[in-house]
Amino acid sequence: MIMNGLYVVNKEGRVVACKSACLAFDNDRFCCRNAYGTPEKCKRTTYSMLFKEACPSYYSYAYDTPPPLVTCSAKEYIITFCPSNWGHSST
């Protein structure tokens, strides 16, 4: 289940990605900034708990403390955010 406002749809109307509550609502509480910019004030929300349930090993808000992520020993990495052929059919 993806809550309204937290998803991205493609041209066909299919859900292709999720947004954080911070990105979707631009709210200090969800973004852990200003008055909510400390671990004592920035707490998990309904939205972060939804993501945590789906992906327990990943950060769901700024001060989340998930179990250790997989670490790599390489000295260099290539990060691809959106490959040039992404979203195009291979046929």
Asked if residue 68 has pLDDT above 70, the reply is no
Mean pLDDT, residues 27-32 taken together: 94
Q: How far is CA 15 from CA 6, 8, 47, 69, 78, in A?
A: 10, 6, 17, 26, 26
Average pLDDT score over residue span 6-19: 85
Q: In terms of pLDDT, which residue wins out, 67 or 76?
A: 76
pTM over 0.85: no
Q: Is 56 left (phi over 0), alpha (psi -120 to 50) or beta?
A: alpha
